[in-house]
Amino acid sequence: MDLEGVIRSHPIKKDSWKTVLTLAYQSLGVVYGDLSTSPLYVYKSTFAEDIHHSETNEEIFGVLSFVFWTLTLIPLVKYVFIVLRADDNGEGGTFALYSLLSRHARVSSLPNCQLADEELSEYTKDGVVPAANSAFGSSLKSTLEKHKVLKKVLLVLALIGTCMVIGDGVLTPAISVFSAVSGLELSMSKEQHRWFLFAPIVITWLLCISSIGVYNIFHWNPHVYQALSPYYMYKFLKKTRKGGWMSLGGILLCMTGSEAMFADLGHFSQTSIKIAFTFVVYPSLILAYMGQAAYLSRHHIVASDYRIGFYESVPEKIRWPVLAIAILAAVVGSQAIITGTFSIIKQCSALGCFPRVKIIHTSSKIHGQIYIPEINWTLMLLCLAVTIGFRDTKSMGNASGLAVITVMLVTTCLMSLVIVLCWHKSLFWAICFILFFGSLEALYFSASLMKFREGAWVPIALSFIFLMVMYVWHYGTFKKYEFDVQNKVSINWLLNLGPTLGIVRVRGIGLIHTELVSGIPAIFSHFVTNLPAFHQVVVFLCIKSVPVPHVRPEERFLVGRVGPKEYRLYRCIARYGYRDVHKDDMEFERDLICSIAEFIRSERPECNLSPVKLEDDEKMTVVGTSSSNLDGIRMSVDEPDSSEIASTSELQEIGPTEKVKKRVRFVVPETPRIDREAVGELQELMEAREAGMAFILGHSYVKAKRGSSFMKKIVINFGYDFLRRNFRGPSYALSIPHVSTLEVGMVYHV
């Protein structure tokens, strides 16, 4: 089922209950696989410290009370009722929050942002223009926009949260599967399955643990419900003191996977995720933890630490079937976090914060299903290293706990800004939010950090490595763009050359890729002064990402002229959201040429296409893809002897008379009629397309300029250069069709 298609075509306020319940059912397998397997290791990780439950049951009841209120306050209250509302046009996650903030305050990490991007339909949530900021909100926005240091802090904060999610993608498979088989000596054959029935497996697992929980409550201790009182938390900390505080690092594992509710929001909807958690996942987990506590309250003497775990509370007769279900649930939970990691890497790469990697779309129908081979192999190797290195759930739990709570702290910090800048609420509500949830999470964070030498160093080390990769790539990319801006050619230089540019203009279209959204790139002057001839039609093509999840097809292109009409120089900016899928070669080529043709036709006051004015006095027109503009120009490519194409266009009468292998024709709407000058320009564009397209690609070598600091030289000359050489080339070099490619090397001294 095309989940994202369902969501986009049926907004949540218009969804039928059948659709919502279907999505809620499917979210159980994708979103809650990790969270639902937490009962396998929470009690074991908690009592791994020097805590022993006594005859008074104060310890086990105190832990149960902490688990209950932690699950209630953070996953239920914070995420379900508050954070899920801060979606970025239906998308969630750390980078979605950063993207949301970037649109309400100009703090974006993307260097080539334009004012025209703010006119996109998805730039404001649900198409509603936000209300005016409060006095404090305006002051905060102005402060963030003025100080570069604060922009960098905000970016680093978002990257830290993202890196910790990636680290969780390494640790979750290790601890989930390891805990599923802990305490039982089984030999397993390693087999990988491509497809799992995720939702039925997780539902079966939740039904299983909740049923066992109910059985244990009534069989061992029906009064265990008394432990839900917060008073038992106080008694627990008072009796165990430092040991109890340290054990919070194990208790916080009960909310492992809560961030997935927000991160996977783009595949489902707010209502479906809320229903699934509130009415299925939450009560099942509470019953499971209560059942384990009821069993442990009647079994105070244990022979070994693994017996404190989940399986000891499972009746012996059904232990083997439960084991099989647990292993399947652990695999589902692991697969969900790995898939989420792929999506995060794609978002970071689209926003210029991660080197380019190969992204494979595994489904032609479901937009969010992607696979990144390099990241998959990296996660596998790191996961094996963690499993072999630790070999016990205690250290894995310490590592996973720190990763989980760090992501939640980052979300809390970003949400406090969203409350003021995006929701336009008073400072009071933002302070209340960050003080209440921030202090609670800081308590867990401090307990996890104290276990630095006992495994908690792993997510810090992993995050540091990924953070360095992301920041070095972003810094190098930003400096390269700055160089392009500082060295772009003046329009007066172009005008002095005349329409022929001082060289021979030959038939064909020359696509010159540039990151610039205005002005003439320096690489073009290099071509003109060193080549004897150039193409009849030249297009400065910029493929850029904007801080929204999706760009509507009817707003895909910005098209304009560079110089007078007779120069036949065009600028085309193709805009993509961070979750958009780039089109295949032929479709992109058709849309690109048709967008230019539509721009030529629309250069009249009575046309409906809306022009926008950019820097350097360039006026550009918003043009959609050919599939979204049914009343626009269409392009037809056929053989000379093929049947005539139905059209009322004047271009049929003045088509080229010479015989060519393939003939290109524009199918133009009958009204409004096109003047002769525009017809002649379209004719030239048509002939140029028939002759073929050439893609001119600048091959850049970025070096730190003389006088740069030692650190900058290390980052640019070694770090950025290493990433550029060892990761994939620009995506546009692979996705744009071209008869011939001309690569020109240039050295950038940044």
Q: Within 33-89, where are the H helices? A: 33-36, 42-46, 58-71, 81
Q: Which of 76-90, 101-115, 138-152 has the highest mean pLDDT?
A: 76-90
Instruction: Tell me what pLDDT residue 733 has.
Output: 47
pLDDT over 70 at 2, yes or no: no
pLDDT over 50 at 190, yes or no: no
pLDDT over 60 at 195, yes or no: no
Average pLDDT of the residues in 672-680: 77
3-state secondary structure of 271: helix
Comparing 181-195, 376-390, 540-554, the range with the smallest average pLDDT is 181-195
Average pLDDT of the residues in 304-329: 78
Contact assessment for residue 215 and residue 288, using Cβ atoms and an 8 Å cutoff: no
Task: Summarize the chain as % helix, strand, coil (round to 5).
Answer: 60, 10, 30
Start-to-end CA span in the chain (Å): 48
Alpha carbon 89 to chain centroid distance?
13
β-strand pairing of 611-613 with 619-623: antiparallel
Instruction: Tell me what pLDDT residue 127 has.
Output: 41
Mean pLDDT for the chain overall: 78
pLDDT over 70 at 125, yes or no: no
CA dihedral 8, 12, 17, 21 (to 10 degrees): 70
Q: Which residue has the higher pLDDT, 5 or 676?
A: 676
Residue 507 dihedral angles phi and psi, to the nearest 5°: -65, 145
Comparing 194-208, 266-280, 287-301, 321-335, the range with the smallest average pLDDT is 194-208
pLDDT over 50 at 188, yes or no: no
DSSP-derived letter for residue 91 is B
Contact assessment for residue 43 and residue 53, using Cβ atoms and an 8 Å cutoff: no
Instruction: Tell me what pLDDT residue 148 has.
Output: 82
Could you count the other beta carbons within 10 Å of the beta carbon of residue 555?
Answer: 21
CA dihedral 92, 97, 99, 102 (to 10 degrees): 160
Instruction: Tell me what pLDDT residue 213 has.
Output: 93
Contact assessment for residue 474 and residue 352, using Cβ atoms and an 8 Å cutoff: yes
The Cα–Cα gap between 328 and 180 comes to 9
Instruction: Show the tokens assigned to 492.
Output: 């007066």
Instruction: Tell me what pLDDT residue 644 has.
Output: 39
Spell out the domain ranges in the chain.
Answer: 35-110+137-185+193-454, 488-603+620-625+669-749
Instruction: Tell me what pLDDT residue 510 has.
Output: 87
3-state secondary structure of 659: coil
Q: Which residues pair with 621 in a beta bridge?
A: 559, 611
Q: Which residue has the higher pLDDT, 647 or 251?
A: 251
Give residue 263's pLDDT band: very low, low, confident or very high (50, 70, 90): confident
The Cα–Cα gap between 40 and 172 comes to 12
198, HSE (Cβ side, Cα atoms, 13 Å): 23
Average pLDDT of the residues in 459-487: 88
Average pLDDT of the residues in 618-634: 76
pLDDT over 60 at 736, yes or no: no
Instruction: Show the tokens assigned to 692.
Output: 């073929």
Instruction: Tell me what pLDDT residue 729 has.
Output: 60
Q: Which of 341-355, 417-431, 683-697 has the highest mean pLDDT?
A: 417-431
Burial of 590 (0-12, 13-18, 19+ CB in 10 A): buried
pLDDT over 80 at 547, yes or no: no
Burial of 436 (0-12, 13-18, 19+ CB in 10 A): middle
Instruction: Tell me what pLDDT residue 734 has.
Output: 46
Average pLDDT of the residues in 75-81: 94
Percent of the chain with pLDDT over 70: 79
Per-residue pLDDT of 206-231, as tens digits, reads 999 999 999 999 999 999 999 999 99
pLDDT over 70 at 527, yes or no: yes
The Cα–Cα gap between 396 and 308 comes to 17
Q: Which of 618, 663, 594, 364 is nearest to 491 (CA)?
A: 618
Instruction: Tell me what pLDDT residue 434 has.
Output: 94
Contact assessment for residue 518 and residue 615, using Cβ atoms and an 8 Å cutoff: yes
3-state secondary structure of 522: helix
Cα-atom radius of gyration of the chain, to the nearest Å? 30
Instruction: Tell me what pLDDT residue 440 has.
Output: 93
Instruction: Show the tokens assigned to 516.
Output: 């610039």
CA dihedral 680, 686, 688, 691 (to 10 degrees): -140
Give residue 411's pLDDT band: very low, low, confident or very high (50, 70, 90): very high
| CATH of 35-110+137-185+193-454 given 1.20.1740, 1.10.10, 2.60.40, 1.20.1070 | 1.20.1740
CA dihedral 332, 337, 339, 343 (to 10 degrees): 160
3-state secondary structure of 543: strand
pLDDT over 50 at 340, yes or no: yes
3-state secondary structure of 528: helix
Output the pTM of the full model: 0.79
DSSP-derived letter for residue 353 is S
Instruction: Tell me what pLDDT residue 609 has.
Output: 54
DSSP-derived letter for residue 171 is H
Percent of the chain with pLDDT over 90: 15
Instruction: Tell me what pLDDT residue 231 has.
Output: 92
Contact assessment for residue 258 and residue 79, using Cβ atoms and an 8 Å cutoff: yes
